[in-house]
Chain A
């Protein structure tokens, strides 16, 4: 059973990667060209500005991952056993439901020279009656892209940390360390973190691969002269000139290489950090003295750094909502001259359709994803043990590195442009996230209860459907909601597998963000915010209703 699921989900990826590796070395039989060699790579090196593109990609990807990781591992330590921790736990999941593009658009609306932030302070504080000629979004160094990436990554990694905390004995560990006289942050770093890190390695790798190869956020936030590597590779793939395919495949392989480079850097940093931690512990330092003085300072910095990208994005999204009901809004007015519901009521033709598509595809892929995860978790392990890490392969290989090969296969099978093929492509990404959400809780289900029910004469279906599923309803619903958000946020897979015939809200938003009208973009953004949020609220409501008479089950 597990083997079948694995085959359904992984073979397309392997085939996709082959569909990219072969052309990179000059082999593409369907085009009638088989001259193996390194020509494509030579051509790649000749592309003007390629080093700048690669450097930009590395910079933004690695810095955002590093900052997000540091904040994500330290922030829960800071808030441990304080009121903030409970808040964090409860409100994190809906925060994650916003698609990447939405965050990017939020930052765009807030920070651009004609954006809300500057409108609010002009001309009162700045004396500007026209937008300043500053490169704020996108900026030269890619800082806004880093900010945008962090806005999504920090909540994701914090969620991973929180779920991992449940698997190690955090409270006893912290209590013992603190009773030995170590300060809170020091105990967190020296005792809890080393236990936490092995469980975090995978999420951090996923985040890093994503940051290095993101396309939709890069189109909105990254500089265009030259753009990051993944954006260039996408444009080469879409070029009608066929010989560009070889160049594009070479570029995709370089993208893969960048991810591998990132892995290596990560492992190196890990070893160094481990050494430093050991050195620190053997020194017998119980708390770092200067922290007593600056304790509140560092905490404040950490808190602000963690929350700032997200808060900025949220403010920007608020201004996007204002734009969606704006009649006319001239710079430097802080608010529109008059409001109109025209754009919401019309739903600009395409947006209404995109909304339905998003709901349909998201709902079905999330449902199927959760069902498959449950089947996986319940199935007996195959005789040849399939490593569970393989589930994450779609997330660990840059999307641009296998989607083109996947598209060729779908074309060959005649499945391209069909909703079912698109749902299957989405399933590749929904499955790992649903697994990440559901597996810990599923595994934590006490086997004794199963055995107890069996001794009372209940058959397997009865034990499963009447006892296990209802008890695990909340994690299942959360996994569904997360699966839905993942599907709603997918950009490249929707474009490649759907042949651009099937438009979801994310695809429409990227098109709108590059030019056509701020009001429709505001409406699209509003819809993208509402949709996953409503699914989460629904999931929470259902589980709350179900367990309203039971205490102690969450």
Chain B
């Protein structure tokens, strides 16, 4: 076989040159047309990517906004929202005031307060103007306007509700402990069967807050900023409870799972007996996906558990803010909220007020299937308000110092 290269490498027939030039020309024109015709807008939605169910829902939302508005939604999966906030901050310090890498971010609490403090959000409020906002009732659900005691100022649009629930395997544990005191006793008599995600993971810190709310001498003090009260005295019962309990935790309290999904796996493997999550439908979702056996049920503490609202916000330098607002509006719409609340999809409770919805939508919400491990609205009724934001770093740092520093 003739060695290919031996055929006149550097000589070409005249038609060959013409053909290659024509191809080049056509390619350039095509490229020019493509870039100038304003190909569909892209919205980079930075959201936690650790749950396959949530990722699937976001993919569905992306398909829908593509159909309706021609917007391409890209789900940038985060391991930690603080990552994206840090990136926006880096962009601000580098002087990037437009064309930022984040268009829409799934956020609440500490991260939102940080963005607000560092002026990383849009200049003007935009949430009240969203067409879907009229279906919410800020009076019935004040957390829509006040995120962990920080006013949202119309800069973040509510997306879903969350409440801390615990899950247990009825085949393993007959009656779970339903208060901090009962839990402490149970852990001591059943060593190695309980744990919580390592703070500063959101669920882990929330668990610590839950315990604090239950064991504190005056829980009402936690609604005030930490620097206005004697923080150490207020937190002392929490550390006493943890000191008692930590040596009897899973792995003797030397290792902790990274997040609540890892904990659900541990429950499925029967390494632990009790898991926790912020989504009331989490355990039903996992039963249907086969990670957990169908003997798992959920419960909350008798005194109620922490509940809050999570939001989506638009950074100041978003490259497609208008498109992002359309996406936020879609996420708030009854159709999207209905699908989100469907426990076979995600099961995240809605932020819409039933009283403000048209009758057809209200009926649809009522008809939603409820997983076997999901508590009813009535059972979830008892909820505790989130403590003021300033308590979070205190709790996290102190916990790190006492239990995660190799001592």
A interface with B by C-beta (< 8 Å): 30-31, 48-49, 52-53, 113-114, 129-131, 133, 135, 138, 140, 223-226, 237-242, 327-328, 330-331, 348-350, 407-408, 411-412, 414, 416-417, 461-462, 465-466, 470, 499-501, 503, 508, 510-511, 514-518, 520
Q: How far is the CA of A131 from the CA of B198 in the complex (A)?
A: 20
The interface residues of chain A lying within 8 Å CB-to-CB of B79 are: 510-511, 514
Is A349 touching B93 in the complex (CB atoms < 8 A)?
Answer: no
Q: Given A465-B5, A499-B101, answer yes or no on A411-B91 (Cβ-Cβ < 8 Å).
A: yes
Is B255 touching A240 in the complex (CB atoms < 8 A)?
Answer: no
The interface residues of chain A lying within 8 Å CB-to-CB of B49 are: 350, 511, 516
Q: Given A135-B251, A499-B101, answer yes or no on A514-B198 (Cβ-Cβ < 8 Å).
A: no
Q: How far is the CA of A416 from the CA of B88 in the complex (A)?
A: 12
* With A113-B271, A225-B406 already in contact, 13 other A-B pairs whose C-beta atoms are closer than 8 Å: A48-B401, A49-B407, A114-B265, A114-B271, A133-B251, A224-B256, A226-B406, A348-B55, A349-B75, A500-B46, A501-B76, A514-B79, A515-B265
Q: How far is the CA of A308 from the CA of B115 in the complex (A)?
A: 49
Answer yes or no: B367 CB below 8 A from chain A CBs.
no
The interface residues of chain A lying within 8 Å CB-to-CB of B119 are: none
Q: 25 A-B residue contacts at CB 8 Å? A: A31-B93, A113-B271, A131-B270, A223-B254, A225-B404, A225-B406, A238-B82, A240-B86, A330-B268, A330-B269, A331-B269, A331-B270, A349-B55, A349-B56, A349-B59, A350-B75, A470-B5, A499-B101, A500-B46, A500-B76, A511-B77, A514-B258, A515-B260, A515-B262, A516-B50
Is A130 touching B271 in the complex (CB atoms < 8 A)?
Answer: yes
Q: Given A30-B93, A501-B76, answer yes or no on A240-B115 (Cβ-Cβ < 8 Å).
A: yes
Is A515 touching B259 in the complex (CB atoms < 8 A)?
Answer: yes
Is A516 touching B51 in the complex (CB atoms < 8 A)?
Answer: yes
Q: How far is the CA of A499 from the CA of B404 in the complex (A)?
A: 30
Is A500 touching B83 in the complex (CB atoms < 8 A)?
Answer: yes
Chain A nearest Cβ from B82, distance in angstroms: 5
Chain B residues 83-102 with CB under 8 Å of chain A are 83-87, 89-91, 93-96, 99, 101
Q: How far is the CA of A426 from the CA of B79 in the complex (A)?
A: 22
Chain B nearest Cβ from A339, distance in angstroms: 12
Is B192 touching A133 in the complex (CB atoms < 8 A)?
Answer: yes
The interface residues of chain A lying within 8 Å CB-to-CB of B271 are: 113-114, 130-131, 133
The interface residues of chain A lying within 8 Å CB-to-CB of B66 are: none
Answer yes or no: B330 CB below 8 A from chain A CBs.
no
The interface residues of chain B lying within 8 Å CB-to-CB of A511 are: 49-50, 77, 79
Answer yes or no: B80 CB below 8 A from chain A CBs.
yes
Is A224 touching B269 in the complex (CB atoms < 8 A)?
Answer: no
The interface residues of chain A lying within 8 Å CB-to-CB of B86 are: 237-240
The interface residues of chain A lying within 8 Å CB-to-CB of B74 are: 501
B interface with A by C-beta (< 8 Å): 3, 5-6, 9-10, 44, 46, 49-52, 55-56, 59, 74-80, 82-87, 89-91, 93-96, 99, 101, 111, 114-115, 118, 191-192, 198, 250-252, 254-262, 265-266, 268-271, 290-291, 293, 400-401, 403-407
Chain A to chain B: the 6 pairs with minimum beta-carbon distance, closest first: A49-B405, A52-B406, A411-B94, A133-B192, A515-B261, A240-B85
Is B256 touching A225 in the complex (CB atoms < 8 A)?
Answer: yes
The interface residues of chain A lying within 8 Å CB-to-CB of B84 are: 500
Is B50 touching A224 in the complex (CB atoms < 8 A)?
Answer: no
Q: Given A135-B251, A223-B254, A511-B77, answer yes or no on A240-B118 (Cβ-Cβ < 8 Å).
A: yes
The interface residues of chain B lying within 8 Å CB-to-CB of A503 are: 76-77
Q: How far is the CA of A31 from the CA of B50 in the complex (A)?
A: 32
Chain B nearest Cβ from A466, distance in angstroms: 5
The interface residues of chain A lying within 8 Å CB-to-CB of B257 are: 515
Q: How far is the CA of A327 from the CA of B290 in the complex (A)?
A: 7
Chain A nearest Cβ from B395, distance in angstroms: 14
The interface residues of chain B lying within 8 Å CB-to-CB of A350 are: 49, 55, 75, 77
Greatest chain A CB density within 10 A among B75, B89, B90 is at: B90
Q: Which residue of A lies closest to B405 (CB)?
A: A49
The interface residues of chain B lying within 8 Å CB-to-CB of A48 are: 400-401, 404-405
Is A330 touching B89 in the complex (CB atoms < 8 A)?
Answer: no
Q: Which residue of A lies closest to B268 (CB)?
A: A330
Q: Given A49-B406, A52-B405, A412-B95, answer yes or no on A240-B52 (Cβ-Cβ < 8 Å).
A: no
The interface residues of chain A lying within 8 Å CB-to-CB of B269 are: 114, 130-131, 330-331
Is B400 touching A49 in the complex (CB atoms < 8 A)?
Answer: yes
Q: How far is the CA of A508 from the CA of B268 in the complex (A)?
A: 23
Q: How far is the CA of A502 from the CA of B215 in the complex (A)?
A: 45
The interface residues of chain B lying within 8 Å CB-to-CB of A113 are: 271
Q: How far is the CA of A499 from the CA of B91 in the complex (A)?
A: 10
Is A225 touching B290 in the complex (CB atoms < 8 A)?
Answer: no
Q: How far is the CA of A113 from the CA of B195 in the complex (A)?
A: 15
Is A225 touching B405 in the complex (CB atoms < 8 A)?
Answer: yes
Is B270 touching A225 in the complex (CB atoms < 8 A)?
Answer: no
Is B111 touching A517 in the complex (CB atoms < 8 A)?
Answer: no
Greatest chain A CB density within 10 A among B252, B266, B405 is at: B405
Q: Which residue of A lies closest to B250 (CB)?
A: A133
Q: How far is the CA of A49 from the CA of B405 in the complex (A)?
A: 4
The interface residues of chain B lying within 8 Å CB-to-CB of A114 are: 265-266, 269, 271
Is A518 touching B265 in the complex (CB atoms < 8 A)?
Answer: yes
Chain B nearest Cβ from A143, distance in angstroms: 14
Q: How far is the CA of A131 from the CA of B406 in the complex (A)?
A: 25
Q: How far is the CA of A24 from the CA of B291 in the complex (A)?
A: 46
Is A49 touching B101 in the complex (CB atoms < 8 A)?
Answer: no
The interface residues of chain A lying within 8 Å CB-to-CB of B5 are: 465-466, 470
Is B255 touching A242 in the complex (CB atoms < 8 A)?
Answer: no
The interface residues of chain A lying within 8 Å CB-to-CB of B76 are: 500-501, 503
Q: How far is the CA of A187 from the CA of B54 in the complex (A)?
A: 62
Greatest chain A CB density within 10 A among B79, B111, B114 is at: B79
Q: How far is the CA of A406 from the CA of B62 in the complex (A)?
A: 32
Is B101 touching A226 in the complex (CB atoms < 8 A)?
Answer: no
Is B255 touching A138 in the complex (CB atoms < 8 A)?
Answer: yes
Greatest chain B CB density within 10 A among A239, A327, A470 is at: A239
The interface residues of chain B lying within 8 Å CB-to-CB of A53 are: 406
Q: Given A130-B269, A501-B101, answer yes or no on A465-B9 (Cβ-Cβ < 8 Å).
A: yes
Set A31, A133, A224, A408: member contacting B404, Cβ < 8 A: A224
Q: How far is the CA of A462 from the CA of B10 in the complex (A)?
A: 10
Chain B nearest Cβ from A132, distance in angstroms: 9
Q: Given A411-B91, A500-B84, A500-B87, answer yes or no on A520-B52 (Cβ-Cβ < 8 Å).
A: yes
Greatest chain B CB density within 10 A among A224, A240, A515 is at: A240
Is B89 touching A515 in the complex (CB atoms < 8 A)?
Answer: no
Is B400 touching A135 in the complex (CB atoms < 8 A)?
Answer: no
The interface residues of chain A lying within 8 Å CB-to-CB of B50 are: 511, 514-516
The interface residues of chain A lying within 8 Å CB-to-CB of B400 are: 48-49
Is A225 touching B118 in the complex (CB atoms < 8 A)?
Answer: no
Q: Which residue of B lies closest to A49 (CB)?
A: B405
Is A240 touching B111 in the complex (CB atoms < 8 A)?
Answer: yes
Is A514 touching B262 in the complex (CB atoms < 8 A)?
Answer: yes
Q: How far is the CA of A519 from the CA of B101 in the complex (A)?
A: 30
Chain B nearest Cβ from A326, distance in angstroms: 9
Set B9, B52, B99: member contacting A517, Cβ < 8 A: B52
Chain B nearest Cβ from A502, distance in angstroms: 9
Chain A nearest Cβ from B206, distance in angstroms: 16
Q: Which residue of A lies closest to B74 (CB)?
A: A501
Q: How far is the CA of A285 from the CA of B199 in the complex (A)?
A: 59
Q: How far is the CA of A517 from the CA of B340 in the complex (A)?
A: 20
Q: How far is the CA of A503 from the CA of B77 in the complex (A)?
A: 8
Is A225 touching B254 in the complex (CB atoms < 8 A)?
Answer: yes
Q: How far is the CA of A207 from the CA of B364 in the complex (A)?
A: 60
Is A517 touching B56 in the complex (CB atoms < 8 A)?
Answer: no
Set A225, A408, A508, A520: member contacting B90, Cβ < 8 A: A408
Chain B nearest Cβ from A317, distance in angstroms: 19
Q: How far is the CA of A121 from the CA of B384 in the complex (A)?
A: 46
Chain B nearest Cβ from A545, distance in angstroms: 12
